[in-house]
Structure 1
Amino acid sequence: MTYQRPTANTAQQFVPTPVRVGADAPRLSAAASILEATEAAQALTDGFSRQLTYLRLSITDFCNFRCEYCLPNGYQGVRAKDELTLPEIKRLVNGFALLGTKKVRITGGEPSIRQDVTQIIEIVRQTAGIDTIAMTSNGYKLGKHLAGWQAAGLNQLNISIDSFDADIFHQMTGMNTLPALMTDMETLLETTDIKLKINSILMKETAFDNLIYALDFVKSRPVTYRFIEFMQTSDNHQLFFAQHANADRVKSYLLERGWRAEIRGQSDGPAVEFSHPDYLGRIGLIAPYAAHFCDNCNRLRVSCHGRVHLCLFDQGNYDIRPFLQHDNPAPLINALQNLMPIKPEHHHLHDNNSGMMTNLSIIGG
């Protein structure tokens, strides 16, 4: 079979075009097909010479928190029953690994909602070519999961904490779980080798208090506390204009006090991390509104329903689930390579255009 190359104006699902062959045409064995796909695979590189080595895989769009900037009224509707299965995830990650992916981040929604999340971690860990398996979580009942995630091979965990004040945390998330989460994070640091990072949405009302507390927290702990600029979606206009803060203010504060920016690794995400000789941990900044933010993009996103998002804030998404129904990776590899010419150069947040994004639980940020 051959597959048509998608363009910006084509339908967003790949449609296979049958190719007639003679009755005596030789049939490749499954093993030969896989070998052929492996030999033909080339590293995913888009039209702007950016090599894509980082897959963010959403395994559910369901979340049990009610964060005011994302799902202020909670998750609406019923959790989908057609999330990617374990065999589909195995084939997906294998196909990406054959194309040079080195890092996989499991996201949501809230990924720990899935009872098979530990098995998913194991699948990714066992995939040849994947060096780093990470996950982003709200930390709900973290202590319950730690041992299993550690045994499964999780390398890195990002926990969302938008305030170190328990009352404000409760107000912002709808969950009164900060005290337990703080205890569980200490357990993680004391009993596992999982690298811990903490994510916080940078908002005017809480930015300074969070920074001061974060500096104290990372003083003696090998943790990176990262501020993420509040991003506008179609559902949060009013809150965005009231609470958006520029990451440059935090950057200036750090530089004036002897912090220095670290060099970003090839498979790292978009954060710029700052270190200080007197601190064991780091402070990170993710500033999507900064100039040239997209220049070094190394990421692709796949939703829990098997749709590729070429950019977090883009109208297009492309259904690759039909290629996850068999073990031959050749069609999946072909489809992903054919998407590279249409990956956009940058987002359009400066034009108040968030693409299809209504809330970040759809694809995990």
Structure 2
Amino acid sequence: MSRTEQNIPQLEDRFQRRITYARIALTRLCNLRCSYCMREEHESGTAAAMMSFSEVTAIIRALAAMGIKKVRLTGGEPLLRNDISDIVLAAKQTPGIEKVTLTTNGLLLDRHLDRLLEAGIDAINISIDSLQPKRYQAIARRDEYSRVKANLDRLIGIGTVPVKINVVMLRGVNDDELGDFIELTRQNPVTVRFMELQPFDDHQIWRTGKFLGMDKIRERIFSLYPEMEELQGSGTQYFSFRLPEHKGSTAIIPAYTRNFCNRCNRIRITAGGTAMSCLYEKEGVDLLQALRNEAGTDESRKEALMHCLRECILHKPEDGRKVKDAGSSAGTSMSEIGG
């Protein structure tokens, strides 16, 4: 890092929270249509609407210069980008970035896994909401269970990259599979994370009785496994558990019923290049306009991006839930905001 970069003020909001973690949505596109995320007919644009490789990497360099240490690449489905491994490699080679991770539905992992490993990916989260093929198809609206499960098994078998399995819990849909998912931790060093439904589902099933809260999930886990040991959690993975003799662990992500705003260290970049200081924010700051309007050197483009990032974080709310209660967010689906 140059002396100039060392003197750049770090990203810190009005409430003295240091921003060190960026979630970057690389596309709005997705090859599944999960019932809790996206309507079948959802208009998510075209591949041409994605940020270019140079735009993504320019944003990552600006974020790193301002103290971002961890980058998570999301979507939509990030593996729909043919340059995903190149983006991972570029992020890993960016001074200041210490960790690069990926969240995927796993469908295309067989196409990209070898190159992702070569690029140095630090961890991979795979979303899979049922271990029953027909039920998986009903939730995802695509008959792709066999391919996703095979990709998950291969990733776990390689054993060189930490794996988390994300499971959105839906009352009366897949909540009878808690034990099946927890059994994955017996022989595999994975973390199975049961996640609450969030109110970003493209106006589909939110408030239709499918929500299953953290307390109910925890109650059912301990009913199945009274010997479950509670661990010290952190961040959004606040509730963590482990069974004796199991190689992996279990966690609950209380995405809706618990408020983590007081220690939020995140900034989000949407697939459209908008910087969002909060998941529930109505508007953000357009990075691409600044990037595309700045015709100067790479350094001047970085300065323009950093100005926008400062402006974004300046408006970060102390409590995002109050923003939510005041009105809808900028996106109707997590694919719009960055899952």
- Give your verdict on TM over 0.5: yes
Change (3 A) 1:39 1:330: farther
Which deviations, in whole Å up to 9, do the C-alpha atoms of 1:188-212 show, x marking residues without a partner? 1222512111111121114532211
Q: Deviations over 1:256-301 (max 9, x none)?
A: 433213242xxx6555432333221111211133343222211110
Q: 1:334 aligns with which of 301, 307, 322?
A: 307
Q: Is residue 44–residue 52 contact of structure 1 (8 Å, CA) maintained in 2?
A: yes
**3-state SS, counterpart of residue 348 of structure 1:** helix
Q: Give the secondary structure class of the aligned counterpart of 2:298.
A: coil
Structure with greater Cα Rg? 1
Name the CA shift for 1:133/1:269 in 2 (closer, same or farther; >3 Å): farther
Deviations 1:278-327 (A, max 9, x none): 22111121113334322221111001221101111221111122443541
**Residue identity in the other structure for 1:250:** I
AA paired with 1:277?
A: P
Q: Any residues of structure 2 matched to 1:103-182 within 5 Å, and which?
A: 103-182=70-149
- The equivalent of 2:228 in structure 1 is 258
Cα distance, 1:269–1:201 mapped onto 2, change above 3 Å: same
Task: Work out whether residues 232 and 238 of structure 2, in 8 Å CA contact, stay in contact via their aligned partners in 1.
Answer: no
- Percent identity of equivalent pairs: 28
* 8 Å Cα contact 1:64-1:75 kept in structure 2: no
> Which of residues 311, 317, 320 is equivalent to 1:347?
320
Matched, 1:94 2:61: yes
Letter in 2 for 1:76: E
The one of 319, 330, 333 aligned to 1:356: 330
Q: Which residue, out of 168, 174, 187, partners 1:201?
A: 168
The aligned amino acid for 1:348 is R
Matched, 1:84 2:72: no
TM-score (norm 1): 0.83
Tell me by how many angstroms 1:353 deviates: 4.2
Between 216-225 and 249-258, report the one with greater CA deviation. 249-258
Rounded Cα–Cα distance in structure 2 between residues aligned with 1:315 and 1:78:
20
- Cα distance, 1:134 vs. partner? 0.7
Could you list the per-position Cα deviations for residues 43-79 of structure 1 after superposition, in whole angstroms to 9, with x for gaps in the alignment?
2111222221110001110111111111131442641
CA distance, structure 2, for counterparts of residue 340 and residue 127 of structure 1? 22
1:326-361 CA distance string (max 9 Å, x none): 411233223322332310122338738442221111
From 245, 248, 251, give the equivalent of 1:281: 248
Q: 1:161 to 1:352 in 2, by over 3 A?
A: farther
Deviation at 1:253, TM superposition (A): 4.2
Q: Please say if residues 29 and 44 of structure 2, whose CA atoms lie closer than 8 Å, have aligned partners that are also in contact.
A: no
Deviation digits for residues 153-190 of structure 1, max 9, x if unmatched?
Answer: 11111111111111000011112121222222221122
- Give the secondary-structure state (helix, strand or coil) at the position aligned to 1:249: helix
2:36 counterpart of 1:50: no
- Given the superposition, is the C-alpha separation of residues 352 and 169 from structure 1 closer, same or farther in structure 2, using an over 3 Å criterion? farther
Match of 1:40 among 7, 23, 28: 7
Unpaired runs of 5+ residues, structure 1, are 1-30
CA distance change for structure 1 residues 339 and 238 in 2, over 3 Å: closer, same or farther?
A: closer
Q: Secondary structure at the match of 2:27?
A: coil
The AA in structure 2 aligned to 1:168 is R
What runs of 5+ residues in structure 2 fail to find an aligned partner? none
CA distance in 2, matches of 1:239, 1:338: 32
Mapped partners of 2:44, 2:15: distance in 1: 39
3-state SS, counterpart of residue 225 of structure 1: strand
Q: Deviations over 1:219-266 (max 9, x none)?
A: 1111111111111237336543320111112223446433213242xx
Distance 1:226 1:340, change over 3 A: same
1:231 to 198, 202, 207: 198
1:247: which partner in 2? 214
**How many residues of Structure 1 are paired with residues of Structure 2 in the alignment?**
329
Q: Which residue identity does 1:259 align to in structure 2?
A: E
The offset of 1:152, in angstroms, is: 1.1
The answer to whether the 8 A contact 1:46-1:343 is kept is yes
After superposition, the CA RMSD in angstroms is: 2.3
Provide the C-alpha distance between the structure 1 equivalents of 2:95 and 2:178, rounded to a whole number of angstroms. 39
Counterpart residue identity of residue 183, structure 2? D
